């Protein structure tokens, strides 16, 4: 996937606040200096302000510089495009993506420009696909993509032709079981429920593949489920709870609604879980309001220092 490095200086990282992907290439004119790897704000200007009258040699040198700049810029754009594709493909598998993976498979020796590259990739993902690139774990530099498109209504969901249907349905059953049992369920209980649905852990299922692998490996790796040993149990027992991704992607109220529908009852039929779901909704609304407020504050701050 990586191209061989070309001669010529690396382009200067874009000024803070530039958020327009790779579309308007010509408005940016990075310097081609190799001795100064990074410049701060305002470095985007062409450095030709004080050039003397051009000799033929001078013109050739300038043309060579311009060509090198364009090549380097194209290379940067290619890398951003490759990173976007890499993130999309990786996210399809739902496993979080680490910075080191990105550097290893896509960015390579442009590593020093990682912040700029990832910012531009994030902008493409947002504008073109409607995904937000979220840093999932600050310590380990892992990222996931979150769908920013509005969630679908009931009837709309049917039409969505989603490809992941059965597996996510299975996940919902497990999340439901976990929630109704007070936010954790023993491994034995999960398999018991699945057996009642005709799903054996190690027998190949035409919809789920190998259920044991799907649940114990895929769902856990994708952070939909957490799998922990129950302390003080001998022989050791294990339990499932919601993983961090489940908390991000779905709400307790939605899962309760799903369970209620299965039993042909109203969510209020389970007062304890219903109250808990209401509290969860309130928390989410508060968190959303806070996030929106801080985003507005940041946007107005950025507008304040916008130089162009």
Contact footprint for another protein (CB under 8 A) = 1, 21-26, 70, 73-74, 77-78, 81, 84-86, 88-90, 92-93, 124, 127-131, 147, 149-150, 152, 156, 158-166, 206-207
The closest of 124, 136, 199, 145 to 167, measured between CA atoms, is: 199
Least CB distance to another protein at residue 87 (A): 10
The tokens for 107 are 């960015």
Least CB distance to another protein at residue 279 (A): 30
Where do the DSSP E strands lie in 47-107?
97-98
Cα distances (Å, whole numbers) of residue 23 to 26, 99, 123, 128: 9, 25, 11, 12
Pick 13 or 21: Cβ nearer another protein: 21
Pick 215 or 277: Cβ nearer another protein: 215
The position carrying tokens 């194209």 is 74
Least CB distance to another protein at residue 8 (A): 15
Using CA atoms, how far apart are residues 172 and 182, in angstroms rounded to an integer?
Answer: 15
Query: Sheet of 225-230: strands edge to edge?
Result: 185-186, 237-242, 225-230
Using CA atoms, how far apart are residues 16 and 215, in angstroms rounded to an integer?
Answer: 43
Pick 147 or 183: Cβ nearer another protein: 147
Least CB distance to another protein at residue 22 (A): 5
Least CB distance to another protein at residue 57 (A): 27
Pick 106 or 185: Cβ nearer another protein: 106
Q: Count the alpha carbons within 13 Å of 9 in the hemisphere toward its beta carbon.
A: 17
Pick 167 or 245: Cβ nearer another protein: 167
């Amino acid at each position: 996937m990586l191209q061989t490095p070309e001669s010529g200086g690396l382009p200067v990282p874009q000024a803070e606040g530039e958020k327009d992907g790779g579309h308007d290439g010509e408005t940016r004119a990075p310097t081609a200096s190799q001795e100064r790897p990074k410049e701060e704000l305002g470095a985007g200007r062409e450095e030709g302000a004080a050039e003397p009258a051009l000799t033929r040699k001078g013109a050739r040198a300038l043309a060579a510089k311009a060509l090198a700049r364009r090549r380097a810029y194209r290379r940067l754009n290619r890398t951003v495009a490759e990173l976007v594709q890499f993130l999309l493909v990786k996210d399809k598998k739902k496993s979080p993506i680490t910075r080191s993976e990105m550097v290893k498979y896509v960015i390579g020796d442009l590593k020093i420009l990682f912040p700029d590259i990832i910012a531009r990739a994030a902008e493409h993902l947002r504008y073109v696909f409607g995904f937000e690139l979220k840093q999932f774990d600050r310590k380990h530099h892992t990222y996931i993509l979150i769908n920013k498109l509005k969630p679908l209504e009931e009837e709309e969901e049917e039409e969505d032709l989603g490809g992941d249907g059965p597996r996510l349905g299975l996940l919902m059953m497990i999340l439901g079981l976990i929630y109704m049992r007070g936010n954790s369920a023993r491994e034995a209980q999960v398999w018991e429920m699945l057996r009642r649905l005709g799903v054996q852990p190690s027998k190949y299922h035409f919809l789920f593949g190998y259920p044991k692998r799907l649940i114990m490996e895929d769902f856990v790796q994708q952070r939909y489920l957490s799998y922990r040993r129950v302390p003080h149990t001998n022989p050791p027992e294990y339990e499932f709870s919601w993983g961090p991704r489940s908390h991000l992607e779905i709400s307790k109220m939605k899962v309760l609604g799903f369970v209620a529908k299965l039993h042909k009852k109203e969510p209020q039929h389970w007062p304890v879980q219903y109250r808990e779901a209401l509290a969860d909704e309130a928390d989410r609304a508060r968190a959303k309001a806070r996030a929106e407020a801080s985003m507005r504050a940041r946007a107005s701050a950025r507008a304040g220092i916008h130089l162009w």
